[in-house]
Amino acid sequence: MPGTEEIAEEPAPMMSTFDLFLLSALIGFVVYWFFFRKDEKPNDEEFKRLSVVQPTLNRSESEDSGIVFRMKKSGRSIAIFYGSQTGTAEEFATRLAKDAQRYGMKALAVDPEECNMEELAELHQIENSLAIFCMATYGEGDPTDNAQDFYDWLQQGDTQLDGLKFAVFGLGNKTYEHYNSTGIYVDKRLEELGAERVYEIGLGDDDTNIEEDFVTWKEGLWPTVCEKFGIEVSKQEGSFRSYSFTKYEPDDIDEKTVYSGEVARLHSYKNQRPPYDAKNPYLSPVLVNRELHKGGGRSCMHIEFDITDTKIRYEAGDHVAVYPTNDVTMVEKIAKRLDVDLDTFFTLDAIDEDASKRHPFPCPTTFRTALLHYLDISSPLRTNVLSEFVEYTSDEKDKEFLTLLSSPTPEGKKKYQEWVMDARRNLLAILDDVPSCNPAMDHICELLPHLQARYYSIASSPKMHPTSIHICAVLVEYDTSSGRTNLGVATNWLKTKIPVPGSEAFVQPRVPIYVRKSQFRLPFKVSHPVMMVGPGTGLAPFIGFIQDRAYHKEAGKDVGKTTLYFGCRKREEDFIYEEHLTKWKEDDVLTELKIAFSRDGPKKVYVQHLLAENKQSVWENIQNHGHIYVCGDARHMAREVHDAIVDIVVECGGKSQQQATDFVKGLMNKGRYSADVWS
């Protein structure tokens, strides 16, 4: 066309880019197939080598390692399963196994996490078989970590358990809303699946005297079991040891094989490696340990743990577990009282080769390490321990007294409650007050419960503090009716962990920790309003929550209304984090800050009173898809806050008392009313 520039057309290439890609892939595959691929069929020599190797089977998948096989092999008829978070349910299971032995039966204490619970359907193959469940309820009515899979199996499975005979003891606390819900569910569900209940469920209340509840229940259990199976009821008295004691001379043991306080893996504190958890805690440097109270004679610590380069992750609302060390002075007094060399090397080995635990705690070790790191020496002694102490007592009056304390009679229970529980008599107090009692230290190591980790609400947000975890903790110290002063194990140990920067000889104190995930979470949408109620150290998780909201606000997000109800005794004494709260209020991070000072005015004012005074604001929060969070004392505060909110729903929502109660329960079920409480 005239006036139009003619464009020359380039010849089309012989192969496109896509064709070249396909050709390359084909050539690569051919090279791999003929030169690099290993023939799946072994040659003769390989076949000979392979044919003599036994296949490795998962423990739960191997018929020769299942719970039923183990019980048949060892002549046992009773399996005692425990769902334990703090060790009490496991301790009770071990005691029941010993009781079975006293009645002429053989039992095995079993962690449900370590076996295939579908084998319950086969347990009836064993003559006179029985399954006992010691099930603790944890958190907001949840099963313990080690019983979660079993609980899920019960919920989702439909395996018929015809022929299975069972009994359940639940461990709970009446101050919590979902009292003993796990034990009650297991008891109910087993019956639904066709199992036969041999004895009524026992419900232990840790808010009063769970020891008495347990003893009363098991004293009725065993005669019923004996009658059911046609066994003559004849309880054998005396001591039944579960572990054999071996003492080592210093020259007979390699100290590199001796545990020095590690939770599980030998030398784990010297050679730290992630992931960090309950069996592998991180030895965290303490960055900050400062006093929060300004007076009044009490103490509250703010402590910061360094988690730099550890791969430890946490969220606001999670808990951090701290493994404490017992009081050195108390340990030395126990050793002096019993004339024991604390540096004695020893091991405790299970007498029963089929026992679920080879040792009661990491062994070999020393008496010093056992008393400092592994044994609970500060809690009141259980009745079974007092019963075992009788044979080590020389004075007849002392013998009679210990026998009474450990007796399941009404008189014995009353005396135990008054003299041991109410007076909080621990091991040292018992030894001091019963002078002719001199138990063997190795037996004490077998009898005492394990020293447990202490859990603290995390008082920081990873958005503000990604390399550290903060807590606040009140120093526990109180006088008992026996005239002694008892000290909280963890807080009195933590108070000594004070970093001293600038010192040439400075060794930064370290604390074993790990993070435990929580369901106590801020709403996914930051635009939703939140209302937090946390007097005292119940404020801890809300420091993290507010830091989280401040971070989003600074990032320009639409952050919803944020309200805090806090309470303490006096503004000038225990108003913790006052500067932070005041600044957040000034910066409008906190929309509302309501504080109850219970001892500053003519009458006591608590957070529940402030809720009632601000009922319209509370109701608007609920109406606007707000979330309510409560943290602190379960026995009084949490209940009264709950009742105050129900009353607000009645008054502002125009509902009846029952309708309001159901409405608040609905908020809980939807995750809009969450509580992180303790008793």
Give the gyration radius of the chain's Cα atoms: 31
Burial 383-396 (b: 16+ CB within 10 A, else e): bbbbbbbbebbeee
Q: What is the pLDDT of residue 26?
A: 58
Residue of 403, 168, 120, 364 whose CA lies nearest to 250? 364
Residue type for position 539: L
Q: For 361-386, how does the pLDDT look when each residue is reduced to its tens digit (9 = 90+)?
A: 999 999 999 999 999 999 999 999 99
Q: For 252-285, how does the pLDDT look when each residue is reduced to its tens digit (9 = 90+)?
A: 999 999 999 999 999 999 999 999 999 999 999 9
Other CB atoms within 10 Å distance of the CB of residue 200: 13
Q: What is the pLDDT of residue 40?
A: 39
Of 98-107, 251-260, 417-426, 659-668, the poorest mean pLDDT is in: 98-107
Q: What is the pLDDT of residue 227?
A: 93
Q: For 138-174, how does the pLDDT look when each residue is reduced to its tens digit (9 = 90+)?
A: 877 899 999 999 999 999 978 899 999 999 999 999 9
Find out whether 259 and 362 touch, Cβ atoms under 8 Å.
yes
Distance from C-alpha of 242 to C-alpha of 608, rounded to nearest angstrom: 51
Tokens (6 digits) for 533: 């109620």
Q: What is the pLDDT of residue 47?
A: 28
Q: What is the pLDDT of residue 233?
A: 72
Residue 354 in this model has a pLDDT that exceeds 90: no
Q: For 21-51, how does the pLDDT look when each residue is reduced to its tens digit (9 = 90+)?
A: 555 555 555 444 444 444 433 333 332 222 2
Find out whether 548 and 463 touch, Cβ atoms under 8 Å.
yes
Residue of 316, 155, 344, 158 whose CA lies nearest to 247? 344
SS3 assignment, position 563 = strand
**Higher-confidence position of 177 and 183:** 183
Residue 574 in this model has a pLDDT that exceeds 80: yes
Distance from C-alpha of 197 to C-alpha of 193, rounded to nearest angstrom: 11
3-class secondary structure for 235-297?
A: CCCCCCCCEEEEEECHHHCCHHHCCCCCCCCCCCCCCCCCCCECCECEEEEEEEEEECCCCCC
Tokens (6 digits) for 353: 């080769």
Tokens (6 digits) for 243: 């572990």
Distance from C-alpha of 16 to C-alpha of 19, rounded to nearest angstrom: 5
Q: First CA to last CA across the chain, in angstroms?
A: 95
Residue type for position 109: A
Residue 62 in this model has a pLDDT that exceeds 60: no
| Residue 31 neighbours by CB under 8 Å, 6+ apart | none
Q: Are strands 530-533 and 562-568 parallel, antiparallel or unpaired?
A: parallel
Tokens (6 digits) for 677: 């409480």
Tokens (6 digits) for 450: 């394990």
Tokens (6 digits) for 451: 């020293």
Other CB atoms within 10 Å distance of the CB of residue 158: 6
Q: What is the pLDDT of residue 51?
A: 29
Q: For 315-329, how does the pLDDT look when each residue is reduced to its tens digit (9 = 90+)?
A: 999 999 999 999 999
Find out whether 97 and 221 touch, Cβ atoms under 8 Å.
no
Residue of 347, 394, 338 whose CA lies nearest to 369? 347
Distance from C-alpha of 532 to C-alpha of 317, rounded to nearest angstrom: 12
Find out whether 369 and 361 touch, Cβ atoms under 8 Å.
no
Q: What percent of the chain has pLDDT over 90?
A: 81
Question: Residues 592, 596, 601, CA angle at the centre, nearest 5°?
Answer: 135
CB-count exposure of residue 54 (10 Å: 0-12, 13-18, 19+): exposed
Q: Treating both helix axes as pointing N-terminal to C-terminal, what angle do 578-586 and 540-554 enclose, rounded to 10 degrees?
A: 30
Distance from C-alpha of 133 to C-alpha of 111, rounded to nearest angstrom: 10
Q: Which residue has the tokens 């709950």?
A: 642
Rounded to two decimals, the pTM is 0.87
Q: What is the pLDDT of residue 235?
A: 67
Say if residue 501 is preceded by a cis peptide, omega within 30 of 0. Answer: no
Tokens (6 digits) for 504: 């040439």
Distance from C-alpha of 608 to C-alpha of 645, rounded to nearest angstrom: 9
Residue of 354, 408, 409 whose CA lies nearest to 384? 408
Of 13-27, 191-205, 604-618, the poorest mean pLDDT is in: 13-27
Q: What is the pLDDT of residue 586?
A: 97
Find out whether 274 and 311 touch, Cβ atoms under 8 Å.
yes
Q: Catalytic residues, which ones? A: 457, 631, 676, 678
Other CB atoms within 10 Å distance of the CB of residue 147: 29
- β-pair partners for 592: 563
Residue 177 in this model has a pLDDT that exceeds 90: no
Say if residue 275 is preceded by a cis peptide, omega within 30 of 0. Answer: yes
Reported residue count of the chain is 679
Distance from C-alpha of 523 to C-alpha of 503, rounded to nearest angstrom: 45
Residue of 110, 111, 122 whose CA lies nearest to 63? 122
Residue of 330, 558, 527 whose CA lies nearest to 448? 330
Q: What value does the mean pLDDT of the chain take?
A: 90
Q: What is the pLDDT of residue 38?
A: 41
Q: What is the pLDDT of residue 208?
A: 87
Of 174-188, 211-225, 229-243, 256-270, the poorest mean pLDDT is in: 229-243
Q: How confident is the model at residue 53 (pLDDT cuts 50, 70, 90)?
A: very low
